[in-house]
């Protein structure tokens, strides 16, 4: 008889114990709970975000009208800030020798001059002398030259911009581009590049009435030209001595008066009296540059000369611009500029760490932008830096650091567990 078949090998009646289904389920639940807690503690939580408290504003005060001329076109603005206002039809009209601002701009674009540098030599050729003779006979403004004379680039620009030599405009055009026609094409291409959509050049000097522009376009060009150190230095000179022509005076009779530091006059029978001017103004401890344009001024009983009429209109306009300029505090120290927001705590205010002021005029729009780290680190301590704010008035920015007004802790265990 065989032994052991169908019989447990242990003690008689003893059975193996198997866990119940409930015990298995409970174990799984506990394991899942532990896994969830671990997951909740180590998982990434939504990043803190910074929401601006404000975006737009304006300079306080009631806007005031400027003293615009009763005829022609005009424009005024502040370099590095923007345009205060425009006046007139805005239609292209002849601009006479104001054209030479673009002539100089193109030359300096093609042949930059370092601060104080003279630049390359330009040899006067017989064709240049012929231009001088013809322009002089036509009653145009000229600078005497002779064949074989050598002018530096700076001297040629001085002859262009101070005594306003039409023949020097042609000389520079020929030197730069090979011919005046090719140079004028460059002038028009540059006008398109700069967004001067109502400007067209027919010559390099402005003698031709087909050279036209608007006060708005010339205001923009003057601001850009004044950003070239060589241009700004030359138009601020009261006189210059040239090799053959000798002492030459700046035709800008207002230079040095009322803070005026340049820029360019122009006058023909078709264009009337024209003047583009720049003047320094001290505001709130800083110097700003006011730029204005007056075009197409006609003689009056008070001002029988068209250029005198342009000077008078410009002086009046400049005084009115100065009367509206102000320095305003656009950010106060401690001002709330943004909020740090999270999904687990109340928002925390972000304060400006310093004050900031800008130059402008009543009604000038301001805009605030906030820059922070892509992922703001939490927890935050009170007073901890969180980024910067940039407040812009026109093209003029002021930047201040941003700090947290209070502490911001990370999410609690309860929040982590209750927000899967």
Instruction: Provide the pLDDT for residue 33.
Output: 62
End-to-end CA distance of the chain: 67
Instruction: Provide the pLDDT for residue 302.
Output: 85
Domain assignment of residue 187, yes or no: yes
Torsion of CA 161, 205, 142, 244, to 10 degrees: 60
Instruction: Provide the pLDDT for residue 4.
Output: 47
Helix-helix angle 166-177:126-137, to 10 degrees: 150
Q: Say whether both 278 and 150 belong to one domain.
A: yes
C-alpha 170: how far from chain center = 32
Task: Give the C-alpha separation, 69 to 300, whole Å.
Answer: 12
Q: Say whether both 272 and 354 belong to one domain.
A: no
Instruction: Provide the pLDDT for residue 1.
Output: 44
The Cβ of residue 405 has, within 10 Å, a number of other Cβ atoms equal to 17
Kindly name the residue from 100, 186, 264, 404 that is annotated as catalytic: 100
Task: Give the C-alpha separation, 309 to 70, whole Å.
Answer: 11
Q: Which of 257, 281, 297 finishes a domain?
A: 297
Domain assignment of residue 355, yes or no: yes
234 DSSP β-pair partners: none
- Its domain, for residue 411, covers 49-60+329-418
Q: Which of 275, 297, 319 finishes a domain?
A: 297
Count: domains in the chain:
2
Please report, for the domain that includes residue 402, its CATH number: 2.60.410
2 contact partners, CB below 8 Å, separation of at least 6: none
Kindly name the residue from 141, 164, 267, 314 that is annotated as catalytic: 164
Task: Give the C-alpha separation, 157 to 46, whole Å.
Answer: 62
Domain assignment of residue 318, yes or no: no
Kindly name the residue from 2, 9, 89, 97 that is annotated as catalytic: 97
Q: Say whether both 367 and 240 belong to one domain.
A: no
Q: Say whether both 348 and 282 belong to one domain.
A: no
Task: Give pLDDT tens digits for 94-136.
Answer: 999 999 999 999 999 999 999 889 999 999 999 999 999 999 9
Domain assignment of residue 44, yes or no: no
Specify whether the backbone of 182 is left (phi greater than 0), alpha (psi in -120 to 50) or beta: alpha
341 is catalytic: no
Q: Say whether both 338 and 248 belong to one domain.
A: no
Residues of the chain with pLDDT under 50: 1-8, 10, 12-13
Domain assignment of residue 156, yes or no: yes
Q: Say whether both 368 and 271 belong to one domain.
A: no
Q: Say whether both 343 and 404 belong to one domain.
A: yes
Task: Give the C-alpha separation, 385 to 371, whole Å.
Answer: 11
Q: Say whether both 93 and 53 belong to one domain.
A: no
305 is catalytic: no
Cα radius of gyration (the chain): 37
Question: Contact, 48 vs 343, CB < 8 A?
Answer: no
Task: Give the C-alpha separation, 35 to 312, whole Å.
Answer: 85
At 398, phi and psi to the nearest 5?
Answer: -130, 130
Domain assignment of residue 34, yes or no: no
100 is catalytic: yes
pTM of the model: 0.83
Domain assignment of residue 28, yes or no: no
Q: Say whether both 118 and 240 belong to one domain.
A: yes
Instruction: Provide the pLDDT for residue 339.
Output: 83
The Cβ of residue 329 has, within 10 Å, a number of other Cβ atoms equal to 14
Instruction: Provide the pLDDT for residue 333.
Output: 92
Instruction: Provide the pLDDT for residue 60.
Output: 85
Q: How many helices (H) does the chain have, and how many strands (E)?
A: 10, 20
Q: Say whether both 157 and 235 belong to one domain.
A: yes
Q: Say whether both 54 and 91 belong to one domain.
A: no
266 DSSP β-pair partners: 274
Q: Say whether both 201 and 113 belong to one domain.
A: yes
Task: Give the C-alpha separation, 30 to 28, whole Å.
Answer: 5
Please report, for the domain that includes residue 186, its CATH number: 3.40.710.10
Instruction: Provide the pLDDT for residue 5.
Output: 47
Domain assignment of residue 189, yes or no: yes
Distances (CA, A) of 295 to 8, 46, 75: 119, 60, 9
């Amino acid at each position: 008889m065989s032994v052991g078949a169908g019989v447990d090998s242990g003690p008689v009646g003893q059975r193996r114990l198997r866990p119940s289904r409930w015990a298995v389920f409970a174990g799984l639940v506990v394991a899942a709970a532990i896994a969830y807690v671990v997951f909740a503690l180590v998982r990434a939580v939504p990043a803190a975000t910074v929401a601006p408290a404000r975006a737009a504003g304006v300079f306080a005060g009631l806007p005031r009208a400027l003293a615009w001329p009763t005829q022609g076109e005009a424009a005024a603005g502040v370099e590095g800030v923007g345009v205060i206002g425009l006046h007139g039809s805005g239609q292209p009209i002849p601009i006479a020798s104001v054209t030479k601002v673009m002539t100089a701009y193109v030359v300096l674009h093609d042949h930059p001059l370092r601060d104080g540098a003279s630049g390359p030599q330009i040899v006067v050729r017989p064709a240049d002398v012929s231009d001088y003779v013809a322009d002089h006979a036509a009653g145009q403004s000229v600078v005497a030259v002779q064949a074989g004379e050598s002018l530096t680039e700076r001297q040629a620009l001085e002859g262009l911009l101070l005594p306003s030599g039409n023949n020097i405009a042609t000389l520079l055009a020929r030197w730069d581009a090979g011919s005046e026609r090719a140079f004028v094409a460059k002038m028009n291409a540059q006008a398109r590049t700069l967004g001067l959509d109502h400007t067209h050049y027919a010559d390099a000097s402005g003698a031709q009435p087909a050279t036209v522009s608007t006060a708005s376009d010339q205001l923009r060009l003057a601001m850009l030209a004044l950003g070239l150190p060589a241009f700004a230095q030359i138009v601020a000179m009261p006189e210059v001595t040239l090799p053959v022509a000798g002492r030459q005076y700046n035709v800008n009779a207002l230079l040095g008066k009322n803070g005026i530091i340049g820029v360019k006059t122009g006058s023909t029978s078709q264009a009337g009296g024209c003047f583009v001017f720049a003047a320094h103004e001290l505001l709130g401890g800083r110097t700003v540059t006011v730029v204005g344009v007056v075009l197409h001024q006609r003689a009056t009983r008070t001002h029988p000369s068209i250029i005198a009429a342009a000077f008078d209109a410009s002086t009046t306009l400049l005084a009115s611009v100065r009367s509206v300029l102000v320095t305003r505090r656009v950010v106060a120290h401690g001002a709330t500029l943004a909020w740090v927001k999270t999904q687990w705590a109340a928002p925390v205010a972000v304060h400006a760490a310093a004050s900031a002021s800008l130059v402008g005029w009543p009604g000038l729009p301001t805009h605030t932008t906030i820059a922070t780290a892509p992922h703001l680190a939490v927890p935050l301590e009170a007073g901890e830096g969180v980024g910067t704010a940039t407040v812009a008035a026109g093209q003029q920015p002021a930047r201040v650091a941003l700090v947290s007004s209070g502490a911001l802790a990370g999410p609690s265990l309860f929040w982590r567990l209750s927000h899967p």
